[in-house]
A and B are shown apart, each in its own frame.
Chain A
Amino acid sequence: MGDKVGLGRLILGPLDGLQAARGTLFPWIAVLIGCGVGAWFAVPTEPGVGSYGLAALVLVAGLALAGFGPGLGRPLAVAIAAVAAGWLAAGIRAHSVAEPILSFRYYGPVEGRIVQIDRSQSDALRLTLDRVTLREVAPDRTPVRVRVSLQADQPWLDPRPGQVVILTASLAPPDGPVEPGGFDFRRMAFFDQLGAVGYTRTPVLLLEEPKEGALLIDRLRSYLTKGMLAHMEGQAGAFAAGAMTGDRSAITQDTVQALRDSSLAHLLAISGMNMAFLTAFVFALVRYGLALVPPVALRINTKKVAAVVSLGVALFYLLLSGANVATERAFIMIAVFLGAVLLDRRALTLRSVAVAGALLLLTKPESLTQPGFQMSFAATVALIVGFAALDSSIYRERMPRWMMPVFTLVLSSVIGGFATAPYAAAHFNRFTDYGLLANILTVSVMGAVIMPAGAVAALLAPIGLAGLPLWVMEQGARWILFVAHWIAGLEGAVTPIPEPGPWVLPLFTLGTIWAILWRGQVRIVGLLPVVVAFLMWGMAERPMLLISGDGKLVGLDGPEGRVLSAPSGGGFAARGWLENDGDLAEQKEASARIGFTGPKGERWFDIAG
């Protein structure tokens, strides 16, 4: 008998605990949806119809049990339903975006409509085309979108969204990982419906100007960016315009690199932070503006009016910036927060972050795999938890009032930096040693100067008075780029970090979430996976030998680090391998290391030391 009671307690104990924690379980729904999505992405073989049928069944059964089942089992039923929902959402999304991928190398005429203009890693102008026609490729095998980088200068070409162009290009299927387990560009391209990438060295010819009313938003973006660039000089202007409109085609790779090396690249993304700055400014402007008009302020709820107006501005910003996944994420987060304001709830809580997370994971499950998603949510959650912990501490009351803004700024940079660093290190194989300093010096300028000035410029532009706010923006951008270049140029600004392997980030993430979401003693359990994750990362091994997909480049782990068989060619693989090794060397440098002998085209090496 004693055994039975013990067993019963073993099972019922945790269920009782869950029941007691019921009020705080909500964020777990988002986490478990994420687990379902994560599992879908992790399996090596494409899940079949059967798995979706099962998932649908589990989802329905789980929801039914959650609604009508015995009280103790309800949390568990919801949990299982959430995992099934994640799996199902990922499958539905993937099959609904599936479009043809070019299956061979193509050289020939390409006709298509420009939908996006940006720059490649080698600084070449790059056009993304839709409505693509290729020679002797059937329409049902032609990719929906192709991306072509222009390798020759084409001064006569002024590309704008909506233009139909013809060109002769080399196209190929998107490249897979450069090594087992590496970043898979094919997967990213698949969800972007990008079925081929390539380049051209010959002229791009304009076939048709944009049609009346087509791609209005994209043309507006291009128009606004050009208008801003006309008033602001150089890279500072390009940066400010890019941050406002999402059109980064004027920003050079040198600038991007400096921003990356100083941990400031997020300033350029239409990130949650930039959108938050903009909506916060509009919110404050409307709310305090209305407060100045007593007849209005006394009759209506200015806070709610401000929330509605800033939601509209956020929506416009979303559309203007091209509604890529990162911006959609930012918008959903802001919309959920403003919705909380409208419903008289506290805006920034773990609950609202969970709502935003669940919405995103169900509609754009591929977000889970993106560094931007992971870093935004890590930063937001950490800020909420960090400031909540501080709220109850004594420091706040002892601090002089004037110190508060400085303190808040420094603390949010510290918290945001710590929360995002593991993700940045794992994805980009780098830790920016002075990133914290760079952020403290610039984030306030972004929030208090560039974004507000941009909003004011937009307001004043119709009456021709945008000049002054644009000048202010330019000065702010100058400061940010100055800091970026200064920090990036410091000795040891970037510490390379080797690839962590597939389990480190999931373990670290789930462990931290566990420690944050539970109350009481049991939260300590979350530290275990975190410790294990860091141990795994520390001990992660790298392959002794790497062979590129075309056999032209081989990388051997040598006494001086990885040595490459050739100083040029296969640069994409070379860069990927060295980065994943945690090696800052360039291909040429790495090919000069000890390890290979013999003439070009006939390189000998000694395996197993």
Chain B
Amino acid sequence: MVLTGKAAAGKLTGACAGASLVILADAPGPVPDGCALIDSDDLRLTGPLAVWQDGRGLRIEPTNTGRRLWSPRAGTVDQAALGSLGAALAMPLPGQ
């Protein structure tokens, strides 16, 4: 699910319980355990994300992969984290 707006971060716990992926247009406070979350801090590093259906799993592709004179000097994208997030998304929710 997508959470935006002023109260977005506050709704996080509920969202994490019900959704297999939460996109939060805000920087979160404490994150519930096992919550598949993409927040604005992650996005600042990765840039916009594209999610592809890839065989059995999902593949998450970041925009900021290059390091050129014109790309911003941000940190590096954590490809492994994106990979495991993609794998987690493909699994059924517990209790479903």
Do A and B come from the same complex?
yes
Interface residue A169 (Cβ < 8 Å from any Cβ of B): no
**Could you mark each residue 1-20 of chain B with 1 if its beta carbon is under 8 Å from any beta carbon of chain A, else 0?**
11111011001000100011
The interface residues of chain A lying within 8 Å CB-to-CB of B53 are 544, 608
Chain A residue at minimum C-beta to C-beta distance from B71: A186
Interface residue A477 (Cβ < 8 Å from any Cβ of B): no
The interface residues of chain A lying within 8 Å CB-to-CB of B89 are 607-608
Given contacts A46-B68, A98-B69, A608-B90, whether A601 and B7 have CB atoms under 8 Å apart is yes
How many A-B contacts if CB must be within 8 Å?
Answer: 130
Chain B residue at minimum C-beta to C-beta distance from A546: B50
Interface majority SS (helix, strand, loop, mixed), chain A: loop
Given contacts A549-B63, A550-B43, whether A179 and B50 have CB atoms under 8 Å apart is yes
CB <8 Å contact, B58 and A608: yes
Chain A residue at minimum C-beta to C-beta distance from B65: A44
Interface residue B23 (Cβ < 8 Å from any Cβ of A): yes
Interface residue A189 (Cβ < 8 Å from any Cβ of B): yes
The interface residues of chain A lying within 8 Å CB-to-CB of B39 are 551
CB <8 Å contact, B50 and A601: no
The interface residues of chain A lying within 8 Å CB-to-CB of B62 are 180
Chain B CB within 10 A, most for which of A46, A177, A601:
A601
Interface residue B83 (Cβ < 8 Å from any Cβ of A): no
Choose from B2, B49, B50, B70 the contact partner of A565 (Cβ within 8 Å). Answer: B2
Chain A residue at minimum C-beta to C-beta distance from B15: A602
Chain B residue at minimum C-beta to C-beta distance from A182: B63
Chain B residue at minimum C-beta to C-beta distance from A95: B69
Interface residue B66 (Cβ < 8 Å from any Cβ of A): yes
CB <8 Å contact, B20 and A601: no
In angstroms, how far is the closest chain B Cβ from the Cβ of A192?
Answer: 11
Interface residue A103 (Cβ < 8 Å from any Cβ of B): yes
Chain B residue at minimum C-beta to C-beta distance from A597: B1
CB <8 Å contact, B48 and A547: yes
In angstroms, how far is the closest chain A Cβ from the Cβ of B39?
Answer: 7
Interface residue B51 (Cβ < 8 Å from any Cβ of A): yes
**Could you mark each residue 81-94 of chain B with 1 if its beta carbon is under 8 Å from any beta carbon of chain A, else 0?**
00000000110000
Within 8 A of B (CB), among A135-190: 173, 176-182, 184, 186-187, 189-190
In angstroms, how far is the closest chain A Cβ from the Cβ of B56?
Answer: 10
CB <8 Å contact, B19 and A604: yes
In angstroms, how far is the closest chain A Cβ from the Cβ of B86?
Answer: 11
Inter-chain CA distance A186–B61, complex, in Å, is: 19
Inter-chain CA distance A546–B44, complex, in Å, is: 15
CB <8 Å contact, B66 and A546: no
The interface residues of chain B lying within 8 Å CB-to-CB of A46 are 67-69
Interface residue A45 (Cβ < 8 Å from any Cβ of B): yes
Could you write out 8 A-B pairs with CB less than 8 Å apart?
A179-B48, A181-B63, A551-B23, A600-B5, A602-B2, A603-B4, A604-B19, A607-B20
Residues of B within 8 A of A (CB): 1-5, 7-8, 11, 15, 19-21, 23-26, 38-40, 43-44, 47-53, 58, 61-73, 89-90
Residues of A within 8 A of B (CB): 44-46, 94-95, 98, 101, 103, 173, 176-182, 184, 186-187, 189-190, 541, 543-552, 554, 565-566, 573, 596, 598, 600-605, 607-608
Query: Which are the 9 A-B pairs with shortest beta-carbon distances?
Result: A601-B5, A190-B70, A543-B50, A545-B51, A551-B25, A44-B66, A547-B49, A552-B25, A603-B2
